[in-house]
Homo-oligomer: A and B are copies of this chain.
Amino acid sequence: MTTQKLVSEIKRKGSFLCIGLDTDISKIPSHLLQAQDPVFEFNKAIIDATHHLCVAYKPNIAFYEANGSKGWDSLQKTVRYLREQYPEIFTIADAKRGDIGNTSKMYAKAFFQDLGFDSVTVAPYMGKDSIEPFLTFNDKHTILLALTSNEGAFDFQTRLVDGKEVYKTVIEVSKGWQNSQNLMYVVGATKAEYLMEIRKIIPNNFLLVPGVGAQGGSLEEVCKYGLTEDCGLLINSSRGIIYASSDTDFARAASIKAQELQTKMAILLHDN
């Protein structure tokens, strides 16, 4: 999907919500466990109930790998369902991959070609040749970890390298990589005050912002510093939406939570 198409969907729906499909088989409503593929049935119900309120879905790959090859099947079915039923939705494989070039090529093939995701999250530690294989794909987006939402972000990401924080160095260096126009960045909502500085380095790139909801980040704070003319933000919520109820009404409960966020987002976009 092109960035233009994503932006037009955001404007059409009045939403920049991304719903995290971190589907844990031990947490889904028990009545689904009789289905042949409970994880897919759960995802399908969540998607059908919320697709008009969000612009993106983000399965975190760990939750699928934890179920082995069955999990991989659930993942594949989920992405295929999205592409067939709701092709206007932007899909994100939250994988945080990164390896030597030869190997990153295989990951890029897995997520972009075989599974058909629009984007994948990657980790910067191994540098340029670990990321460039992802960037060669047209109309695919590579979302680089910059400043993450967790406490451990302060272990290395905020340390000073030549007087500048590691995460800023990562963003600046990445701008020089081939096809860097295909980069987006992960910036945690729990660190909204850092967004002003980040927007000085990348005024226009899209940011994927986890950490609103269960992790405690504020939507308003993120928008205050992060919104651009083209929105430039995808705000993710996972647990707060998909586990809003653990009963048979889980999909409706999820849509209510998504609607709350979408309503706020429509106002923030309107006032922007």
- Chain A residues in contact with chain B, CB under 8 A? 22, 24, 60, 62-63, 65-73, 76, 94, 96-104, 106-107, 109-110, 114-115, 123-131, 145, 148-157, 159-162, 166, 169-170, 173, 215
Contact = CB atoms under 8 A, between A and B. Distances in A.
B128 A62 contact: no
A171 to B, nearest CB: 11
A169 B156 contact: yes
A109 B68 CA distance: 10
B127 A145 contact: no
A143 to B, nearest CB: 13
27 contacts: A24-B106, A60-B106, A62-B99, A62-B110, A63-B106, A68-B76, A68-B114, A69-B69, A69-B70, A69-B72, A69-B76, A94-B99, A96-B99, A100-B148, A100-B215, A124-B156, A125-B156, A126-B150, A126-B153, A127-B152, A127-B154, A127-B155, A127-B156, A129-B151, A155-B173, A159-B169, A160-B161
B149 A60 contact: no
Nearest to A96: B99
A109 B101 CA distance: 27
Contacts of A152: 126-131
A125 B145 contact: yes
Contacts of A215: 100
B157 A161 contact: no
A73 B159 CA distance: 41
**A-B complex: 6 closest residue pairs judged by Cβ atoms:** A127-B152, A127-B155, A69-B72, A62-B106, A69-B69, A65-B110
Contacts of A69: 69-70, 72-73, 76
Contact of A98 (B99, B123, B131): B123
A157 B128 CA distance: 12
Residue from A107, A109, A156, A166 whose CB has the most chain B CB atoms within 10 Å: A156
Given A98-B96, A152-B130, A157 B103 contact: no
Contacts of A150: 100-101, 126-127, 129-130
Contacts of A128: 151-152, 155
A157 B125 contact: yes
Contacts of A103: 22, 60, 62-63
Contacts of A114: 66-68
